[in-house]
């Protein structure tokens, strides 16, 4: 009987935990399995090493956007297209630089599996708020926090790695024409794959 009870408990745990388990596995070259990345580390995964990873159906995502610039619009469009393709549940919270803190709190209150952030103007507010809400996972696409906590993952590429007002931007860190659909899509998918595999609080730097 003790063994049977243990098996039932284990099966129940698997069912509960499976709600946010990824479909598919990370491929070789996403990280060095022998030396997992430390908090705040930057990894440079092999292109396509995240392609087999997909969220479970119904994965709950909030798209948090700030700004009406073309770069933000591109990332937002990619997130919406991805959500439809992956059958993820998507809600959108739109804010501005002046109301960004309130916007982040609204996104957290929706209790999603992941908040995906689009818009470099969010960086400073995210740095202020996210450390107080460690239970909530965030993915920043096309920007990064200067000192992220373990619940904030960033996916960047050349021209899309702004760190907000704390670190002055250069052509290498912020270039509007770098925000193409293809690069934004790759960054989103790599970032989600990383979060689903509990590789969080890091920067995923794509070429």
- At 165, the pLDDT band (50, 70, 90 cuts) reads confident
Buried b (16+ CB within 10 A) or exposed e, 8-36: eeeeeeeeeeeebebeeebbeebbeeeee
- Tell whether the model's pLDDT for residue 174 goes beyond 50: yes
Predicted model pTM:
0.89
- Tell whether the model's pLDDT for residue 7 goes beyond 70: no
Mean pLDDT of 42-56: 97
In this predicted model, what pLDDT tens digit does every residue of 83-101 receive, in sequence order?
Answer: 999 999 999 999 999 999 9
- Tell whether the model's pLDDT for residue 10 goes beyond 50: no
Can you list the domains of the chain with their CATH numbers? 29-205 (3.40.50.2300)
DSSP symbol at 160: B
pLDDT of residue 15: 36
Collapsing DSSP states into helix, strand and coil, what is residue 144? Answer: coil
Contacts of residue 126, Cβ cutoff 8 Å, sequence gap at least 6: 100, 104, 117, 138, 140, 145, 152
pLDDT of residue 58: 93
CA torsion sign for 66, 71, 74, 78 is negative
In this predicted model, what pLDDT tens digit does every residue of 97-152 receive, in sequence order?
Answer: 999 999 999 999 999 999 999 999 999 999 999 999 999 999 999 999 999 999 99
Tell me the C-alpha distance between 30 and 183, whole Å: 17
- Tell whether the model's pLDDT for residue 172 goes beyond 90: no
């Amino acid at each position: 009987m003790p063994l049977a009870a243990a098996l039932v408990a284990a099966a129940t745990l698997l069912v509960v935990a499976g709600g946010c388990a990824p479909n598919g596995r990370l491929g070789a070259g996403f990280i060095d399995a022998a030396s997992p990345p430390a908090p705040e580390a930057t990894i440079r995964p092999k292109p396509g090493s995240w392609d087999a990873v997909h969220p479970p159906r119904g994965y709950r995502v909030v798209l948090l956007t700030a700004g009406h610039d073309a770069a933000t619009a591109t990332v937002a469009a990619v997130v919406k297209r991805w959500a439809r393709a992956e059958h993820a549940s998507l809600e959108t919270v739109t804010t501005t630089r002046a109301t960004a803190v309130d916007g982040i709190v609204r996104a957290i209150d929706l209790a999603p599996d992941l908040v995906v952030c689009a818009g470099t103007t969010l960086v400073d507010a995210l740095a202020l708020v996210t450390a107080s809400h460690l239970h909530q996972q965030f993915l920043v696409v096309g920007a990064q926090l200067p000192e992220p906590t373990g619940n904030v993952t960033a996916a960047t590429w050349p021209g899309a790695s702004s760190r907000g007002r704390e670190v002055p931007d250069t052509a290498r860190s912020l270039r509007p024409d770098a925000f193409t659909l293809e690069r934004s899509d790759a960054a989103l998918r790599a970032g989600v794959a990383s979060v689903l595999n509990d590789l969080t609080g890091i920067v995923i730097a794509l070429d």
